[in-house]
């Protein structure tokens, strides 16, 4: 039976450390969140971020816009926040309405305040080994592996999913830690052939219980990034009951990668605040 990686417990440790640091700040670090529309999942994610920020004493400012707000109005707000010295980090809650360009909106965030690490400038810095903010979910995955003393160097890591948000950046982070990395996706033939080779299996496809027990080798470390809401119940990309009988470590959904992602976001905001104030 697997050892369950408790993301809630580990995120609390990080938030407690951040709370002590924030307590010593004359002016509290501030995170600005842009939300467009009323997506139920987005509402839940924003509540979690707001709650976590309040727990550590960080300011949280939410800017909500109707579904039919113009793209120009959103970008104008982001430019204002870029120039606001009391705002340390800015994120745009995804997904955005189909009538908007996520790329244009996100790229209007100043790279120095891009705490989600999703602008083109941040990603260019990331892939060229320059200092930048790393996307929060990949950062959370790596932190969970580190805190559980899971060896990465020399291991075969298989990433299922190739998004800019999770799949590609986590593959790059694993490579930087000397893993041998295979990326699989929707067009991969005979997916099971690859997943059964994984010492570390990271799944980020957003399909309920996509990975079953017969697709995982004995003793694998399994990190489940996906989340699907169905009849008020949350499911991961991994069929937990089956896979947990074979894996050595596994993250649950909920309570695994999600809480740690929020903790990494707050950590990035504090780093942004600290960099800004130590350079003055």
Sorted by where each begins, the domain ranges of the chain are 26-111, 136-257
Q: Pick the catalytic residue from 15, 49, 208, 239.
A: 49
Question: From 3.30.200.20, 3.40.50.720, 3.30.565.10, 3.40.1350.10, which CATH number describes the 136-257 domain?
Answer: 3.40.50.720
CATH class of 26-111: alpha beta
Write the pLDDT tens digit of every residue in 59-73: 999 999 999 999 999
d(CA 269, CA 59): 10
Q: Pick the catalytic residue from 6, 114, 116, 237.
A: 116
d(CA 253, CA 243): 13
- Mean pLDDT score across all residues of the chain: 95
Kindly tell me if the per-residue pLDDT of 280 is higher than 60.
Answer: no
Q: Pick the catalytic residue from 6, 35, 88, 93.
A: 93
- Do 136-257 and 26-111 fall under one CATH topology? yes
Across 244-264, average pLDDT: 97
Cis peptide before 28 (omega within 30 of 0): no
Alpha helices, DSSP H, located in the chain: 7-23, 40-56, 71-82, 102-106, 120-127, 136-147, 167-176, 191-195, 240-243, 257-278
Question: Do 237 and 226 meet the contact criterion of CB atoms below 8 Å apart?
Answer: yes
Least confident of 38-52, 154-168, 188-202, 205-219: 38-52
Write the pLDDT tens digit of every residue in 265-279: 999 999 999 998 876
Helix H or strand E encompassing 240? helix 240-243
Give yes or no: 199 in active site.
no
Smallest Cα–Cα separation from 35: which of 93, 76, 100?
A: 93
Smallest Cα–Cα separation from 96: which of 122, 63, 71, 115?
A: 71
Give yes or no: 64 in active site.
no
Across 128-149, average pLDDT: 96
Across 107-120, average pLDDT: 97
- Residue 279 is predicted with a pLDDT of 63
Q: How would residue 214 be classed by pLDDT, with cut points 50, 70 and 90?
A: very high
Write the pLDDT tens digit of every residue in 144-164: 999 999 999 999 999 999 998
How much of the chain, in percent, has pLDDT values that exceed 90? 90
Q: How would residue 229 be classed by pLDDT, with cut points 50, 70 and 90?
A: confident
Give yes or no: 245 in active site.
no
């Amino acid at each position: 039976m697997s050892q369950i990686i408790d993301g809630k417990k580990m995120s609390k440790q990080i938030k407690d450390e951040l709370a002590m640091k924030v307590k010593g700040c004359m002016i509290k670090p501030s995170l600005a969140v842009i939300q467009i529309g009323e997506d139920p999942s987005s509402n839940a994610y924003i509540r979690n971020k707001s709650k976590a920020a309040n727990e550590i004493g960080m300011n949280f400012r939410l800017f909500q816009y109707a579904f039919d707000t113009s793209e120009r109005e959103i970008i104008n707000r982001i430019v204002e926040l870029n120039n606001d010295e009391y705002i340390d980090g800015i994120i745009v809650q995804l997904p955005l309405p189909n009538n908007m360009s996520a790329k244009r909106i996100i790229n209007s965030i100043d790279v120095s305040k891009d705490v989600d690490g999703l602008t083109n400038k941040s990603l260019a810095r990331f892939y060229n080994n320059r200092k930048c903010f790393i996307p929060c979910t990949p950062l959370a995955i790596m932190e969970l592996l580190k805190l559980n003393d899971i060896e990465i160097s020399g291991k075969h890591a298989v990433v299922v999913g190739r998004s800019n948000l999770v799949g590609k950046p986590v593959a790059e982070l694993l490579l930087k830690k000397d893993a041998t990395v295979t990326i699989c996706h929707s067009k991969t033939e005979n997916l099971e052939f690859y997943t059964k080779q994984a010492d570390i299996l990271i799944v980020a496809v957003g399909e309920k219980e996509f990975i079953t027990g017969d697709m995982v080798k004995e003793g694998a470390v399994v990190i489940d990034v996906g989340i699907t809401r169905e009849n008020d119940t949350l499911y991961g990309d991994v069929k937990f009951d089956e896979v947990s009988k074979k894996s050595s470590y596994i993250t649950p959904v909920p309570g695994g990668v999600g809480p740690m992602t929020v903790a990494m976001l707050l950590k990035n905001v504090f780093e942004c605040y600290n960099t800004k104030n130590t350079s003055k």
